[in-house]
Amino acid sequence: MNNVQPGPTANDRMPVDSPAADAMRQWLALSRIAAPEEIAGMVSYLAGPEAGYITGASLTIDGGFTA
């Protein structure tokens, strides 16, 4: 079992043009909020055969928030 830990991601509660997203950008190395497709891409990869040897991993996808 793997764990995907997404960081700030655009959604109904935090649109990319919201004050919350603007405040969050200052803490991100990439200076932008993730698109949902970026998180989904990692989940899709982990569900596929290419990631068959990845197990017990915590994968943080947060644009450098925890860097």
Contact, 2 vs 54, CB < 8 A?
A: yes
Q: What is the mean pLDDT of residues 25-52?
A: 95
Cα distance between residue 33 and residue 56, in whole Å: 27
For the beta carbon of residue 65, count every other beta carbon within 10 angstroms.
17
Q: What is the mean pLDDT of the chain?
A: 95
For the beta carbon of residue 38, count every other beta carbon within 10 angstroms.
14
Q: What is the mean pLDDT of residues 21-50?
A: 95
What pLDDT band is residue 67 in, cutting at 50, 70 and 90?
confident
Q: What's the CA angle centered on 11, arms 6 and 17, to 5 degrees?
A: 110
Q: What is the mean pLDDT of residues 14-25?
A: 93
What pLDDT band is residue 2 in, cutting at 50, 70 and 90?
very high
Instruction: Look up the pTM and report it.
Output: 0.85
